């Protein structure tokens, strides 16, 4: 009996020592021991998932203390009041930010203290109470809660915009159906863009055609006219192209494939018109209008038609209006038009037909311009705009405020 009593006393003593060791360690870890701690209260305005007494407190990532108490606010059950004990040297300022973080594989929550300026005052409690810090809104939410809240907001947005989203889907479906119906046209447009940008496979150079300037004019029989400037003609967007245009069954905008003009049509028309005027020898100087060239007159043209028409039979048609501008006034105006039948609708035949029509209209234009542009001496002696006094001018058009002459027969 005496031996057993001695063993029992030894066992009880051993357990007491172990318990005392654990208590001592816990006391040191939780703010007791030989180190002094400063306490703060932190107010959370929402749940603090997983936060426990003993959870760490970090300041700029360095552990400075732990949570010593957790309780609900009696005045507002939504709020959680946490008491922390930290090293007194921790620079907790009035502008220090309070938050929560989740560390490690298990996501253990810790309270984080961040920042604060050196000039900001330290946090102090009123009437000796523990100083209180307020955590940022939303602090304490776990990743799962944050994801759940985000998905809920997204679901609300989708519910509020269900009808507009349905309309967008319907419009996309209609657009895709339209693309399916016009897939062949889309392929044509894409192929045209590839040719224009040089991205298509090389298929040989396209035949390039040009207009021919007129030559072999009869003598004027009068003194040369003065200097005349010929600006680039006005033209619709459909004519501002290097394509040889064709109107099938009265439609506009089509062109003959695998051929083109040597330049944009209005520019090409201007260049060949100036060259034809120079070849006539009827004027002292011909050129484009620019600062150093002070012309006596200007020939203004408006390009109306320059294309192949297939209805009822293929013809090459050229039509433009011309006006003589002298000293800021229109001295004369007329419409020139010609149509030349062609045998086939291909690049070479179309270019040849349009050249013939261009030749006919310009052969009428240049003598008409010479008759309505008096020599420089006559301009000095007579008022501007008296072109009607020139001899043999019965074919001239009336003044601009009267109806123009009908275009000559093709």
Mean pLDDT for 311-316 is 88
Greater pLDDT, 261 or 51: 261
pLDDT confidence bin for 380, thresholds 50/70/90 = low
**What's the pLDDT at 143?**
57
Distance CA 185, CA 105 (A): 59
pLDDT confidence bin for 384, thresholds 50/70/90 = very low
**What's the pLDDT at 195?**
62
pLDDT confidence bin for 388, thresholds 50/70/90 = very low
* Mean confidence (pLDDT) of the chain: 81
Distance in angstroms between the alpha carbons of the first and the last residue of the chain: 146
| pLDDT tens by residue, 200-244 | 544 457 889 999 999 989 988 888 888 899 999 999 888 888 999
| pLDDT tens by residue, 164-195 | 888 899 899 888 888 887 776 677 677 667 76
Contacts made by residues 367-371, CB under 8 angstroms, sequence distance 24+: 367/282, 368/322, 368/332, 368/334, 368/395, 368/396, 369/228, 369/277, 369/282, 369/299, 369/322, 369/324, 370/220, 370/222, 370/225, 370/280, 370/282, 370/283, 371/396
**What's the pLDDT at 362?**
95
219: CB partners within 8 A, 6+ apart: none
Extended beta strands in 74-168, E state: 80-86, 97-103, 108-114, 132-134
Most confident of 215-224, 326-335, 354-363: 354-363
The pair phi, psi for residue 353, each rounded to 5°, is: -65, -40
375 has pLDDT over 90 = no
CA angle 309, 310, 313 (to 5 degrees): 115
Mean pLDDT for 98-106 is 79
The rounded percent of the chain whose pLDDT value lies above 70 is 80
134: CB partners within 8 A, 6+ apart: 42, 43, 45, 98
**What's the pLDDT at 410?**
39
- Return the CATH superfamily for domain 208-389: ABC-type transport auxiliary lipoprotein component (3.40.50.10610)
Per DSSP, the three-state class of 262 is coil
**What's the pLDDT at 407?**
47
**What's the pLDDT at 341?**
94
Most confident of 3-7, 159-163, 249-253, 351-355: 351-355
**What's the pLDDT at 394?**
42
CB 329 within 8 A of CB 243: no
397 has pLDDT over 60 = no
**What's the pLDDT at 386?**
45
Mean pLDDT for 46-63 is 86
CB 81 within 8 A of CB 41: yes
| pLDDT tens by residue, 116-144 | 888 888 877 777 788 888 888 777 666 56
Greater pLDDT, 233 or 102: 233
- What residues does each domain of the chain span? 34-141, 144-176, 208-389
Cα–Cα separations (whole angstroms), residue 191 to 157, 184, 194, 200, 253: 43, 11, 5, 7, 17
Greater pLDDT, 150 or 309: 309
364 has pLDDT over 50 = yes
**What's the pLDDT at 393?**
44
401 has pLDDT over 60 = no
| Tokens describing residue 118 | 């050196």
Nearest alpha carbon to residue 65 among 76, 53, 56: 56
5 has pLDDT over 80 = no
Distance CA 122, CA 133 (A): 11
| Tokens describing residue 50 | 């997983």
DSSP 54: T
Greater pLDDT, 137 or 403: 137
Per DSSP, the three-state class of 62 is strand
pTM of structure: 0.47
**What's the pLDDT at 196?**
66
**What's the pLDDT at 402?**
45
């Amino acid at each position: 009996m005496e031996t057993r009593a001695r063993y029992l006393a030894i066992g009880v003593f051993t357990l007491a020592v172990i318990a005392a060791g654990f208590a001592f360690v816990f006391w040191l870890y939780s703010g007791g021991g030989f180190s002094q701690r400063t306490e703060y209260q932190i107010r959370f305005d929402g749940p603090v998932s997983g936060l426990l007494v003993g959870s760490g407190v970090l300041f700029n990532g360095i552990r400075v203390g732990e949570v010593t108490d957790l309780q609900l606010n009696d005045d507002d059950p939504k709020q959680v009041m946490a008491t922390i004990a930290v090293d007194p040297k921790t620079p907790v300022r009035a502008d220090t930010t309070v938050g929560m973080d989740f560390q490690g594989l298990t996501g253990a929550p810790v309270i984080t203290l961040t920042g604060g300026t050196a000039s900001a005052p330290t946090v102090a409690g009123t009437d000796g109470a523990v100083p209180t810090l307020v955590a940022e809104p939303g602090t304490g939410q776990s990743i799962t809660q944050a994801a759940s809240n985000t998905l809920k907001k997204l679901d609300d947005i989708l519910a509020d915009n269900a009808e507009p989203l349905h309309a967008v889907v319907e419009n996309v479906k209609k657009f895709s159906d339209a693309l399916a119906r016009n897939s062949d046209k889309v392929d044509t447009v894409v192929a045209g863009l590839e040719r224009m940008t040089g991205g298509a496979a090389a298929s040989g150079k396209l035949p390039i055609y040009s207009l021919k300037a007129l030559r072999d004019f009869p003598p004027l029989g009068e003194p040369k006219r003065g200097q005349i400037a010929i600006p680039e003609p006005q033209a619709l967007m459909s004519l501002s192209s290097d394509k040889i245009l064709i109107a099938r069954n009265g439609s506009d905008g089509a062109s003959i494939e695998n051929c083109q003009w040597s330049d944009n049509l209005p520019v090409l028309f201007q260049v060949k018109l100036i060259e034809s005027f120079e070849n006539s020898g009827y004027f002292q100087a011909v050129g484009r209008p620019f600062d150093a060239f002070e012309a006596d007159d200007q020939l203004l043209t408006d390009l109306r038609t320059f294309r192949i028409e297939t209805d009822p039979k293929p013809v090459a048609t050229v039509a433009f209006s011309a006006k003589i501008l002298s000293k800021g006034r229109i001295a004369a105006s007329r419409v020139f038009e010609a149509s030349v039948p062609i045998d086939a609708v291909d690049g070479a035949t179309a270019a040849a037909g349009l050249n013939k029509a261009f030749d006919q209209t310009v052969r009428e234009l240049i003598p008409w311009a010479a008759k309505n542009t008096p020599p420089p001496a006559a301009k000095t002696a007579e008022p501007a705009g008296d072109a009607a006094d020139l001899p043999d001018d019965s074919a001239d058009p009336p003044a601009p405020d009267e109806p123009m002459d009908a275009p000559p027969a093709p």
